[in-house]
Amino acid sequence: MEKLISGLKLGLYQTFILDNNYQYFVRGIGITLLVTACALVLGLVIGVMIAIVRSAHDQQPANKRGPVLKFLNGVCKVYLTVIRGTPTMVQLLIMWFVIWASARATDSNMIRCAIVTFGINSGAYIAEIVRSGIMSIEAGQMEAGRSLGMSYADTMRFIIIPQAFKNVLPALGNELITLLKETSIVTVIGLKDLTKGAMIIQSKTYQAFVPFFAIAAIYLVMVLFLTWLLGKLEGRLRQSDIR
Amino acid sequence: MIYVKGLSKSFGDHQVIKEINTHIAPGEKVVIVGPSGSGKSTFLRCLNLLEQPTAGSIVFDGQEITDPKTDINKVRQHMGMVFQHFNLFANLTVKDNITLAPQRAKIMNKAEAEQEAMRLLKLVNLEDKADAYPNQLSGGQKQRIAIVRSLAMKPKVMLFDEPTSALDPEMVGEVLELMKKLADEGMTMVVVTHEMGFAREVATRVMFIDEGIVMEENEPGEFFGNPQNERLKSFLAKVL
């Protein structure tokens, strides 16, 4: 028992105190959150645009679809198929070692690469989430907007998207949590995120127990915080549902 | 005001409207009645192109709105529409429901639109609901707000698609009363309804549509008192 406690003490000391190792966690958290937040924004932009193209295409009668809309819809479908059909890690490897091949391996380059990869990846999932939200709004809302002389774009922007967004917030929260945890695979390109920080400490100190349980706890706390934040946001958006 | 020529509409192989010709003059109150599935709602929805007609033309205010080059959004700004299920914007307050379209069409600025919204809400005695959300209202309140939401655009004609069919019986009266008030003020109206009392009292012309054809139309006295068409006779026997 005493041996166990002294071992744990040593583990804690080497993981956090020795050589200011705690810095790996602090910087790691920063990078993990930065990549997650930027990728989410990029994913939302891509996702909403694709969702609008896809549902505009599906809502028009077949004989009224313009060639541009048909083309864009085709592009979106290919994108969704490819991105959802291949592993995120493979996408990251291709992005860094093929597309970014000539870039120097600096932190800022790797961060940029990670944000773009996860943004594009998340965009595909968010697109389908948002599309399901758009489809869940009854046709009467669009008809009412159009009957008042508002354009399709205006009705989407002021009426349909806000309601759709509220309906899909739980699913988007899911996507955000998945995204946060999935960023841990940036270790394969050498970006020093939270997970990489623990791996570095392990290789320096031969400690495994403390560093890995520590980051598990840190991920958990971050997810709990996000869940709490989403709950708040949902409460605010539910204002119009109060009877 | 609205000239309809050879209007037809099919959903797949099913022809719902068969070559309807009619003219709706300014100030007219046309009430359309008929059995369910007769095509009367589809006809009404064709008038502002919520349904794209398969054939025929509609000319509104000298403009052929069935022409693909026509800016339909501009046309619809002058045609109000009231729906069976109200279709108030669920994410907006009552006031925002009314002010959104006039502002986006740039016919009013924010202050003007809000002033107009409050004037209209006062008209229907609902000014205390300005900041409420639609699902906090009763059906009758929703429909009255849906009507004034259309009025905020200052339309030249109002289309009503079974405006009282989804209401509890005790709320039908307040909506019909508002529609009568509109009619008295000279609004051009096209109303699809099952309210025969309203047709008799307010209509300048009643139209009986069945199987996508205008079977008979007349001023209400003759229409109800002396129907000619056999189908209309049996229809009236059932609903009166």
Q: A146-196: per-residue pLDDT in tens?
A: 999 999 999 999 999 999 999 999 999 999 999 999 999 999 999 999 999
Rounded Cα distance, A182 and A152, in Å: 36
Helix (H, G, I), strand (E, B), or coil: what is residue B214?
strand
The Cβ-side half-sphere exposure at B121, using a 13 Å CA radius, reads 21
In angstroms, rounded to a whole number, what is the distance separating the alpha carbons of residues B64 and B5? 11
- Whether the Cβ atoms of residue A191 and residue A110 lie closer than 8 Å to each other: yes
State whether residue B29 sits within 8 Å of chain A by CB. Answer: no
Please indicate whether, in this complex, the C-beta atoms of B105 and A141 are within 8 angstroms of each other.
Answer: no
Q: Is the pTM of this model over 0.80?
A: yes
List B residues 53-112 in contact with A (Cβ-Cβ < 8 A). Answer: 73-81, 83, 85, 87-93, 100-101, 104-105
CB-count burial class (<10 Å; 0-12, 13-18, 19+) for B58: buried
Average pLDDT, chain A: 92
Q: Bridge partners of B17?
A: B9
Q: What is the mean pLDDT of each run of 10 residues along chain B (240 residues)?
A: 94 92 95 93 95 94 91 95 96 96 95 96 95 95 97 96 94 95 96 95 95 94 94 92
Mean pLDDT, residues A138-145: 96
Q: Is residue A18 over pLDDT 90?
A: no
Look up residue B54 and give its two tokens.
């398969």
Q: Which two tokens stand for residue B196?
A: 């025969």
Contacts with B, A 159-198, CB within 8 Å: 159, 162-163, 166
A contacts of B93 (beta carbons < 8 Å) = 240
Query: How far is Cα B183 from Cα B175, in angstroms, rounded to an integer?
Result: 12
Read off the pLDDT of each residue in A113-129 and give the average, rounded to a whole number.
97
Residue numbers of B between 165 and 184 with CB closer than 8 Å to A: none
- Domain positions in chain A are 35-191, 193-235
Mean pLDDT of A78-107: 94
User: Helix, strand, or coil here: B138?
Assistant: coil
Dihedral (C-alpha) A194, A196, A198, A201: value to the nearest 10 degrees? -130
Query: What span, in angstroms and rounded, lies between the C-alpha atoms of A50 and A243?
Result: 34
Torsion of CA B138, B38, A145, B204, to 10 degrees: -80
pLDDT at site B225: 93
Give A134 to chain B, closest Cα distance, Å: 14
| Distance in angstroms (rounded) separating the CA atoms of residues B224 and B226 | 6
> Which residues of chain B are within 8 Å of residue A241 when distances are taken between CB atoms?
133, 135
Mean pLDDT (whole number) for A135-142:
95
B90 and A163: CB-CB below 8 Å? yes
Burial B195-217 (b: 16+ CB within 10 A, else e): bbebbbebbebbbbbbebbbbbb
Question: Closest approach of chain B CAs to the CA of A123, in angstroms?
Answer: 25
Whether residue A62 lies within 8 A of chain B, CB to CB, comes out as no
Residue A135 confidence (pLDDT) above 80? yes
What phi and psi, each to the nearest 5 degrees, are found at residue B125? Answer: 60, 35
Query: Band of the pLDDT at A241, cuts 50, 70, 90?
Result: confident
Instruction: pLDDT band for A66, please (50, 70, 90 cuts).
Output: confident
Confidence of residue A58 (pLDDT cuts 50, 70, 90): confident
pLDDT of amino acid A115: 97
Task: Look at residue A164 in the predicted model and tell me its pLDDT.
Answer: 94
Contact B88 A144 (CB under 8 A): yes
* Position A242 pLDDT exceeds 90: no
Q: Which pLDDT score is estimated for A243?
A: 66
Q: Kindly report the backbone phi and psi dihedral angles of residue B8, in degrees, each rounded to the nearest multiple of 5, phi listed first.
A: -130, 150
Query: How close, in Å, is residue A39 to chain B by CA atoms?
Result: 28
Pairing of strands B2-11, B14-24: antiparallel
* pLDDT, position B100: 97
- Inter-chain touch A150–B88, beta carbons under 8 Å: no
Distance of alpha carbon B99 from alpha carbon B152, whole angstroms: 8
Residue A188's nearest CA partner among A53, A52, A97 is: A97
- Radius of gyration, alpha carbons of chain B: 18
Length of chain B: 240
Q: Which CATH superfamily is domain A35-191 in?
A: MetI-like (1.10.3720.10)
Helices (H) and strands (E) in chain A, counts: 10, 0
